[in-house]
Amino acid sequence: MNWERFAGLDRRWIFLLMGIVIVVPILMPMNITMGTMRVTQDLYNAVDAIDRTKQCLLISSDYSPQTEPENHPMMITLLRHAFARRIPVLINALYVEGAPLLDQALKQVSAEFNARATSSADSIVYGRDVVYLGCQPPPIVPILSMGQSIRGIYPVDYYGTSTDSLPLTQWTQNYDQVGIVVALSSGSSPLWYVMYAQPKFGVKVGGGCTAVSAPDLYPYCQTGQLSGLMAGMKGAAEYETLVEKNFDLGTRRKATEAMASQSAAHVLMMVLIIIGNIAFFVTRGRKS
């Protein structure tokens, strides 16, 4: 075998090969089978355990278009889980850049459920089942203020409606009516809730983060300060699988589909690294 040729391979061929293995699974979607990490299962269990007659789920987000491929499927699968269990949902954005993405996710998942609904009781009604509180910067202000009064820091919702007039926000006064806060983040916003809201108000906190941020959050899962975590695209795919397994919604699972591309890219990288090292040592030996 001509190892010298491999050692001197033009990197453009590698880029082309990487592009092919990423694009093909996207064009031909497939759902691959994967295990579920304990932290993902813990988060699912914590959300599923919410007493929907007395508590709501608060989804807090600081992700933006840069991390949409990882974070956005987390938002969608959390909404699907809550709506399937009829858990009331409050949504807030910690940064204005990501606010339209949350609106998009809410409208998409509401439309999915309402397309199958046969009455108002099994429909998703805005104001009764879900409220998008919008953005109120800087982040530390709503995080602390919601412990006193949610309507106080969010007098109007994202669409400009008074929160005093919405049935859901009439009975959700503060963190006492929040079963768990799930902070979806491109950075460290789950830790903001752990540091500021949890010690002062005792609210449970879960998280969803990009894969690169996950190692910083795992220790907080071990101590119990985080009740669970979706770690990167794989965590989102695992949560999607749990929701589909338990509720059989039959909806598209983008994180699960994307895992095929991600897995193929990782396999190709490992193969290229192995071949590159073999070529390096063989050619070095011949030169010696």
Provide the residue ranges of all domains of the chain, joining segments of one domain with +.
1-31+254-288, 34-252
pLDDT of residue 60: 97
Q: Is the pLDDT of residue 287 over 70?
A: no
Helix (H) or strand (E) holding 206: strand 205-209
pLDDT of residue 188: 85
- pTM for this one? 0.88
Q: Is the pLDDT of residue 52 over 70?
A: yes
pLDDT of residue 282: 80
Q: What is the mean pLDDT of residues 16-39?
A: 84
Token representation of residue 159 = 């669409």
76-95 residue pLDDT tens? 999 999 999 999 999 999 99
Percentage of the chain beyond pLDDT 70 is 97
3-state secondary structure of 138: coil
- How many other C-beta atoms lie within 10 A of the C-beta of residue 120? 8
Q: What is the mean pLDDT of residues 91-115?
A: 96
| 8 Å CB contact between 209 and 185 | yes
User: What does the alpha-carbon distance between residue 273 and residue 53 come to, in Å, rounded to a whole number?
Assistant: 54
pLDDT of residue 288: 58
Our CA angle for 248, 53, 253, nearest 5°, is 25
How big is the chain, counted in residues? Answer: 288
264-283 residue pLDDT tens? 888 889 988 888 888 888 87
3-state secondary structure of 76: helix
147-183 residue pLDDT tens? 999 999 999 999 999 999 999 999 999 999 999 999 9
237-268 residue pLDDT tens? 999 999 999 999 988 888 888 888 888 888 88
Class of domain 34-252: alpha beta
User: What does the alpha-carbon distance between residue 143 and residue 15 come to, in Å, rounded to a whole number?
Assistant: 44
Task: List all residues 6 or more positions away from 96 whose beta carbon is below 8 Å from its beta carbon.
Answer: 135, 137
Alpha helices in 33-172 (DSSP H): 38-48, 68-85, 99-116, 140-145, 150-153, 167-171
The average confidence (pLDDT) of the chain is 92
